[in-house]
Structure 1
């Protein structure tokens, strides 16, 4: 039970990036000899160097969180997404991981001594400015077409629908997004989408779900 409480505690701090997340990382993941699966990658934390391998892999994922003092959305709108941008940032991270896999490698790991120009290009697509295709500005304003005012909280489905629309304008990535409504995937729809685009295109499937009143995930 104590191990479970510690695990919950580290999860809570990871959501805010507080120092205890990394301070306790080695301890938490050395409590159990069972392997850890992170985004489909199996990492044996019981072997020497395993915990550090897991830490490096997690730190290599793109992390977008609340920001302030960016240019006002729409020219006169909010200059911070604190308190309302959580699902928009989740959408950015979901899409960012997709682009890393699409353009670099499924299990990409960041190396400060060898920063890929492709990696830099992906990051620029998420800059907090109106000219970046996947910026908080573009996502928030595209949400208006989904019935969400700028600075209004998104649900998982709204975020997924916005991603679907924005990727249409991304000629470099060639990604087609299919949103499975009501947690149901219609195989024929997915096949139709996969075969109606050029062979080099990738199709991303998104399943949106709500847990309780305030928790959503893709």
Structure 2
């Protein structure tokens, strides 16, 4: 018998397997329905990117420069801004998870902007228990700051300082538990259906 690949046998095997899948509803479930469902969940239902971040803006100064930068923040399609002059209120919202970060415009913002060669630092406060979201907030704020400075045709510097607030609790794990459980249940169902189908085929003596 020839050891070379026989395309005739391959074709016959493909035809046989296709007919077996068509005859068996459980094979349709394993081969078509469950892969399409998993493709939909991982491709559309689960989104690990942050496209619209809820960020608070603490206005400690109502100067023209501060309002211009605030307008640049609110005009970004990636930021859902909450503006307030009450620090305690914004901190409570961040602790409750209603905002993901806080941008503080200090009381001497306009004065430092008016100085030649000086910088006008802003403070960015994020939840350190969610590193990915904190990096998104920092990156978006830095990008908006740089674009705003380019529009002003001036070069300023943004200083970064990291703080850790131990009282904040992360809700990321709790929010993703249903998704993880749902995916695991789908895999378990797929495995169970496959084994049930194989057992049924073996019982009917249709398993080759």
Query: Structures share a fold, TM > 0.5?
Result: no
Higher helix share: 2
Q: TM-score, normalised by structure 2?
A: 0.21
